[in-house]
A and B are shown apart, each in its own frame.
Chain A
């Protein structure tokens, strides 16, 4: 997958060459830009407004707990698409407990609303400035973040925690 080289020149002139790093996924061929978590909003804003990445395709996260060779706990992944020339760029930043807060991308893309809610629900990463940061898939009273690797697969008994209805109660 190709990304126009001007994008990286612009990034280097705006943020410097040391602030971010570029890599290519050996399996998928995705071009990734790894940025510091504190400045992820600035990068997204710059990529949207100056480099033409006008479409936010996805926000997701990865829990690197127990992952061989990992240095950080969470990876937060934004997939951006330039709809003019179909360039696809992955912006990634790393987060560690206890500071799991990043600025919300909602001021840039209104479509990030539900994607950030999903990441919040599944991983417990908080998005500062999000208009309505609630759980989206799990019930509101749910405790825990199911896609974290330390969350047990069979849960903590939530699926049994209901009253049994007898026939007379119909």
Chain B
């Protein structure tokens, strides 16, 4: 079948059109809590210039964003804030976990640092590094663009599929104790002075 199209008219699928529009206009929400935030700023600055990929509009209100970049460690005091900001972002939205701390807790294997934000919010891209170079973050944005173009749908049905995959992960079986019995007090040595 041959179709004569006038000039400047293209045929596409509405899903692909929506994804194309979304991927080239990502508005990041910079959730920068540590040194990764400095690299995030460098990524947005003139030398690396994330504007080349359509993601330069950093907004500090989650209502205007659709890409959360979590740059830095997230403590247990900060996590409820992170979750609330994530919930305030309108759909469709994506999340980049930037750096070792946001992805796994990094070297901070302590009581107060969340061991990977993907345990508590959905994450689309992980960027390794401590902190990652701006090029790595740009690569993550480019990969996310490819992902959006490949999987995106107008009404966001790909998110339901992802949610089914994510819920299978073993991380759901985390222990959630708040209080364990304290160990019996050890004897205090009493031979010399301090």
Residue pair B178, A165 in contact (C-beta under 8 Å): no
Residue pair B189, A158 in contact (C-beta under 8 Å): no
* Residues of B that sit less than 8 Å from A by CB: 76-77, 79-80, 83, 86-87, 89, 91, 93, 109-115, 119-122, 159-160, 162-163, 166-167, 172, 174-180, 182-183, 185-186, 188-194
CA distance A167 to B93 in the complex (A): 9
Residue pair A170, B178 in contact (C-beta under 8 Å): no
- Is A14 an interface position by the 8 A CB rule? no
- Is A138 an interface position by the 8 A CB rule? yes
Task: Classify the interface of chain A: helix, strand, loop or mixed.
Answer: loop
CA distance A92 to B64 in the complex (A): 53
Q: Which of A64, A146, A153, A165 contacts B122 (CB 8 A)?
A: A165
Contact with B along A59-92 (1 / 0, CB 8 A): 0000011111111110100000000000000000
Q: For chain A, give the interface size range.
A: 35 or more
List of A residues within 8 angstroms of B190 by Cβ: 71
Contact with B along A31-51 (1 / 0, CB 8 A): 000000000000000000000
CA distance A151 to B182 in the complex (A): 8
Residue pair A165, B175 in contact (C-beta under 8 Å): no
Given A66-B186, A157-B176, the answer on whether A164 and B120 have CB atoms closer than 8 Å is yes
List of B residues within 8 angstroms of A166 by Cβ: 122, 163, 166-167
Q: Which of A65, A66, A143, A159 contacts B179 (CB 8 A)?
A: A143
Residue pair B112, A155 in contact (C-beta under 8 Å): yes
